[in-house]
Amino acid sequence: MAVFTEVSRDEATALLRRLGLGTLTDMAGITGGIENTNYFVSTERDGQRHDYVLTLFERLSFEQLPFYLYLMKHLAAKGIPVPAPAADDRGEILHRVQGKPAAVVDRLRGHSELAPDASHCAQVGAMLARMHLAGQDYERVQPNLRGLAWWNETVPVVLPHVSAEQANLLRSELAYQNHLAQTPAYEALPRGPIHADLFRDNVMFDGGQLSGFFDFYFAGCDTFLFDIAVCLNDWCIDWASGCADAQREQALLNTYEGVRPLTAAERQLLPAMKRAAALRFWISRLWDWYLPREASMLKPHDPTHFERVLRARIQAL
């Protein structure tokens, strides 16, 4: 997880009451996730049990958060299965707990599918495309805060911790991505709000059916193709080697294109964008691994996984 900040039952009770969500009955720190403090909280209201997730944001600020929370609200209102944030009696969806920004969202039913087959990938592809279309008229704008600018800032910070061979790969891939970002094909890519972190552990399935996308706290305005590449690199690879699984890739792309066909520029740049997506998570995992924060339950992700994925993507070009 992470519980970076301990929240008392009294504090949770007060917030849930203020949001009109009922009386707190259960509260448990969540031992998954690495960015924020998360608790499952349950309440009793009108004689019934209701389940929510209370999140305290550890890195994102009061200025940055409305983009994510209102995006979730916007998508939920358009029928995309996304947990909508709970509002107080003034309509505020961003709250404060222990001086930190906080939100309470509906708890999605089901579980994450950590060994997905082509049917799971197909469902993700279709919903991803629906989400991209539904987000197109969202009015708030915020860049992907883990985009190219952040890669350029963070690579020098992690370089002292890696081997010479890894440093060479980080430097050369960053140079390639900086060059790519200047090309007309890249400029032509369709853009809008994207999830940007739609891994297996950020999607729920209930009875084999996709029941929701969650954890929008890396979302931002960026290319739709980057979002697709993030998904392909997680949902459609052979875990041990990092190589693409062609059948699952096809399943995800076919259903995506059934809703929103790719443009010529997107087709051309898909292999390069898979490299970009691998680089992004290699950098963030190195950063979390070598420059960790305090947390009472924290398990950083293995950075070498995305080094393997990146190498496999470069070889496949």
Ligand X SMILES: N[C@@H](CCOP(=O)(O)O)C(=O)O
Ligand Y SMILES: Nc1ncnc2c1ncn2[C@@H]1O[C@H](COP(=O)(O)OP(=O)(O)O)[C@@H](O)[C@H]1O
- Closest CB to ligand X: residue number: 33
Name which of 120 and 260 has its Cβ closer to ligand Y: 120
Query: Which 3 state secondary structure label does DSSP give 66?
Result: helix
Looking at the chain, list the stretches that DSSP marks H as alpha helix, in order from N- to C-terminal side.
9-18, 65-77, 118-134, 148-158, 164-180, 184-187, 224-235, 246-259, 264-290, 303-316
Distance CA 142, CA 123 (A): 27
Residue type, 263: T
* 72 contact choice in ligand Y, ligand X, none (CB below 5 to 8 Å, kind-dependent): none
Distance CA 50, CA 46 (A): 10
Q: Is 245 in the site for ligand X (CB under 6 A)?
A: no
Name which of 59 and 96 has its Cβ closer to ligand Y: 59
Task: Using CB under 6 A, pick the residue from 24, 35, 131, 310 that binds ligand X.
Answer: 35
Q: Is 301 in the site for ligand X (CB under 6 A)?
A: yes
Q: Is 55 in the site for ligand X (CB under 6 A)?
A: no
- Phi and psi based region of residue 178 (left: phi greater than 0; alpha: psi -120 to 50; beta: remaining): alpha
Provide, rounded to whole angstroms, the least separation between the CB of residue 297 and ligand Y.
11
* 143 contact choice in ligand X, ligand Y, none (CB below 5 to 8 Å, kind-dependent): none
Q: DSSP letter at 27? A: E
Q: Is 154 in the site for ligand Y (CB under 6 A)?
A: no
* 281 contact choice in ligand X, ligand Y, none (CB below 5 to 8 Å, kind-dependent): ligand X
Q: Is 220 in the site for ligand X (CB under 6 A)?
A: no
Residue whose pair of structure tokens reads 């349950």 in the numeric block: 42
Q: Is 108 in the site for ligand Y (CB under 6 A)?
A: yes
Contacts of the segment 92-98: beta carbons below 8 A, 24+ positions apart = 93/69, 94/62, 94/65, 94/66, 94/69, 95/15, 95/19, 97/5, 97/7, 97/11, 97/15, 97/54, 97/56, 98/5, 98/7, 98/11, 98/56
Task: Using CB under 6 A, pick the residue from 217, 224, 235, 287 that binds ligand Y.
Answer: 217
Q: What are phi and psi of 273, to 5 degrees?
A: -75, -30
Task: Using CB under 6 A, pick the residue from 197, 227, 249, 307 that binds ligand X.
Answer: 197
Query: What is the contact mask toward ligand Y in residues 33 to 72, using x (rule: CB under 6 A)?
Result: xxxx-x--------------x-------------------
Name which of 38 and 223 has its Cβ closer to ligand X: 38
**Nearest-10 Cα torsion for 82, 230, 186, 193:** 10
Distance CA 100, CA 72 (A): 20
Q: Is 147 in the site for ligand X (CB under 6 A)?
A: no
Q: Among 159, 173, 150, which residue's Cα sits nearest to residue 278?
A: 173
Name which of 186 and 217 has its Cβ closer to ligand Y: 217
Tokens of 102: 């906080």
Q: Is 281 in the site for ligand X (CB under 6 A)?
A: yes
Q: Is 34 in the site for ligand X (CB under 6 A)?
A: yes
Q: Is 307 in the site for ligand X (CB under 6 A)?
A: no
Residue 224 near residue 192 (C-beta atoms within 8 A): yes
Task: Using CB under 6 A, pick the residue from 105, 170, 273, 314 that binds ligand Y.
Answer: 105
Residues that bind ligand Y (CB under 6 A): 2, 30, 32-36, 38, 53, 83, 105, 107-108, 201-202, 214-215, 217
Residues that bind ligand X (CB under 6 A): 33-35, 197, 199, 201-202, 215, 281, 284-285, 301
